[in-house]
Amino acid sequence: MIVFEISNKTVKAVWGKSILPLKDIRIAGAVSRSIGSDNPDEVHAIISSIVDEKMYKKYKPLILSIPRDQAILRNLSFPTKDESELENIVELHLTQEVPYSREEIIYDYNVLDKTPAGFTNVLLSIVHRRTLVKHFSVFEKLNLFPDNVLLSTFGLLRFFQKAIPQNTGSEIIACLDVDEDFTDFFMFKGDQIFFSKSITIPASKLREYDRLPKFSGELKQAMIVAQSGRRTGPSKIYISGVGRRNLELEKCVQSVFQMPPETIDSLEAIGSLKGIKNIREITSKVSLSSILGIALNPLSSRFRFTLPEAKMRRYARDMARNLFVTGGVVLYLIVVALLCFIGKSYNHQAYLDRLKLEIRTTERVNQGSQEALRKIKVLRKHLGYSNSFLFFYYEISQIIPQNITVSRIIFNKGKEFSIIGQGTDMGEIFKFVRMLNEAGTFGTAELRYSRKASKAGKEFNEFNIVCHIG
């Protein structure tokens, strides 16, 4: 696998092979290059100097890591336990968490737990589409397409899980990864990240004594948010990332957590790193922890960001390449078949002429029958009761829940119709949408909008559901 991470100042990459029986990796190379400006051509030149098509074929898949400071993470709780309802609720709630429209963002979420009270706690991750387009365009210029895009915090989870194998999974672990631009503070238990915060203080500033109080304050504030609703705090604290041990930073962390932290050296956690040239120089400037962790599980589906248009472009590229490879064989077969056909055609020309004459005669004889058949098909199409308004009105009356009131149905024959009405709560409305989809009669049903209203002192939810039947 080849793992890239493009931050605001640096391009980082590691590549190597997986050792499946040991669930380990053999790192063959690592590199870190500074970015001098925001010019995409500079990033393109850096990546092209690191990877080419030959290297990709040897170490694929190609994975892109999104730095934590380029993503937004939110801890949210929703009043449902149903997976399909949860997906709809998250979709409706997205734009309340970021100042962007739905079309401008790519998101994923991870279910943390489900409470006895009927709530589901999730960790929502959001990335601006422009960020992904910017990264993908650099690779596409090299005719390379990332096979997966993951959040760097997921990589840190995998890295710390490997570095602290004595973790039983029942303890809450707090971790800090100090990188060149920021520090990623997150907490996890078992295989679940339940909190993450990016602290935007560069690693170089953490060696300045007067900057540590600010770092300590942000860390305390993050701890308060992370422990909201939880009775127990972390049992252990670990630090990884840039440079050698920072005793002042460790004292600062100890004062916040009231326990001494343990510093993890990435070269000790991933033994194969020791053979990489200039690895100490690289790890003294940037943290490789996140991309090393992603290399341990490069094709994960958790905290994955998929860019649909890039996926389609890759599909088109692969199809064109396959056609080019097999084109010679197909062309050869076509030429052979054509030669055989031409050779036989001379012997069967008389038979072919007689056959054409029979076809023309049959067409003239059956012309009246074909016209009658065409008229029957047209008449049958217009007599179809299943496309009528009354048919859909009757079918809706058979499945409508007790707490849903339909006040109006707007019907556009052959394409779609809208159901306008009222429901006691959003759960009943989502249930109604699901029943419409499961009925198989109304095509694809979607909730166009819903809003709260009140009348005579009673509150209810107005809704508009559109069924695409065309």
Rounded to two decimals, what is the model's pTM? 0.66
Domain final residue pick, 278, 306, 334 = 306
Do 464 and 364 lie in one domain? The reply is: no
Q: What is the pLDDT of residue 166?
A: 74
Do 434 and 293 lie in one domain? The reply is: no
The residue with tokens 């960020």 is 131
Q: What is the CATH number of the domain that holds 51?
A: 3.30.420.380
Q: What is the CATH number of the domain that holds 396?
A: 3.30.1360
Do 77 and 166 lie in one domain? The reply is: yes
Residue 412 covered by a domain: yes
Do 286 and 328 lie in one domain? The reply is: no
Do 346 and 450 lie in one domain? The reply is: no
Structural domain boundaries, residue 51: 2-306
Q: Are strands 458-468 and 416-423 parallel, antiparallel or unpaired?
A: antiparallel
Residue 125 covered by a domain: yes
pLDDT in tens, the chain (470 residues): 999 999 989 999 999 998 765 567 899 999 999 998 878 889 999 999 999 888 988 998 999 999 999 999 998 999 988 888 999 999 888 888 888 898 899 999 999 888 888 899 999 999 999 999 999 999 988 888 899 999 999 999 999 999 987 766 788 999 999 998 899 999 999 889 989 999 998 888 887 778 889 999 999 999 988 887 676 789 999 999 886 678 888 999 999 999 999 999 999 889 899 889 889 999 989 999 999 999 999 999 888 898 877 666 666 665 666 666 677 677 778 888 877 777 776 667 777 777 788 787 777 777 777 777 777 776 666 555 666 778 888 888 888 988 898 989 888 766 888 999 999 888 899 999 999 999 888 889 999 889 998 888 888 999 999 998 87
Residue 318 covered by a domain: no
Do 185 and 334 lie in one domain? The reply is: no
Planar angle of CA 98, 103, 106, nearest 5 degrees:
65
Q: What is the pLDDT of residue 345?
A: 64
The CA distance from 100 to 22, in Å, is: 43
Q: What is the pLDDT of residue 168?
A: 66
Residue 192 covered by a domain: yes
Domain final residue pick, 247, 279, 306 = 306
Domain final residue pick, 348, 364, 381 = 381
- Per-residue pLDDT tens digits for 358-389: 787 777 777 777 777 777 776 666 555 666 77
The total number of structural domains in the chain stands at 3
Residue 319 covered by a domain: no
- Per-residue pLDDT tens digits for 32-87: 999 988 788 899 999 999 998 889 889 989 999 999 999 999 989 999 888 889 99
Do 435 and 294 lie in one domain? The reply is: no
Please state whether the peptide bond connecting residue 202 to the residue before it is cis, i.e. omega within 30 degrees of 0: no
The CA distance from 32 to 338, in Å, is: 57
Q: What is the pLDDT of residue 30?
A: 95
Residue 93 covered by a domain: yes
Residue 335 covered by a domain: yes
Would the CA dihedral through 279, 281, 287, 291 be positive or negative?
Answer: negative
Do 72 and 165 lie in one domain? The reply is: yes
Single-letter amino acid code for the residue at 305? F
Would the CA dihedral through 160, 161, 165, 171 be positive or negative?
Answer: positive
Do 360 and 212 lie in one domain? The reply is: no
Do 194 and 291 lie in one domain? The reply is: yes
Residue 314 covered by a domain: no
Do 351 and 431 lie in one domain? The reply is: no
Do 397 and 335 lie in one domain? The reply is: no
